[in-house]
Amino acid sequence: AQSVTQLGSHVSVSEGALVLLRCNYSSSVPPYLFWYVQYPNQGLQLLLKYTSAATLVKGINGFEAEFKKSETSFHLTKPSAHMSDAAEYFCAVTLSGGYNKLIFGAGTRLAVHP
Partner 1 sequence: GAGVSQSPSNKVTEKGKDVELRCDPISGHTALYWYRQSLGQGLEFLIYFQGNSAPDKSGLPSDRFSAERTGGSVSTLTIQRTQQEDSAVYLCASSLDAGKDEFFGPGTRLTVL
Q: List residues near partner 1 by CB under 8 A.
A: 36, 41-46, 49, 90, 92, 97-107
Q: What's the Cα-to-Cα distance from 65 to each of 20, 24, 59, 89, 99, rounded to whole Å?
A: 9, 12, 8, 13, 22
Q: Looking at residue 70, what DSSP letter applies?
A: G
* In the complex, least distance from residue 50 CB atom to partner 1, rounded to whole angstroms: 13
Please, which residue, 4 or 19, has the CB nearer to partner 1?
Answer: 4
Please, which residue, 37 or 112, has the CB nearer to partner 1?
Answer: 37
* In the complex, least distance from residue 8 CB atom to partner 1, rounded to whole angstroms: 14
Please, which residue, 18 or 46, has the CB nearer to partner 1?
Answer: 46
6-18: string of b/e by CB count within 10 Å (b at 16+)?
beeeebebeeeee
* In the complex, least distance from residue 100 CB atom to partner 1, rounded to whole angstroms: 5
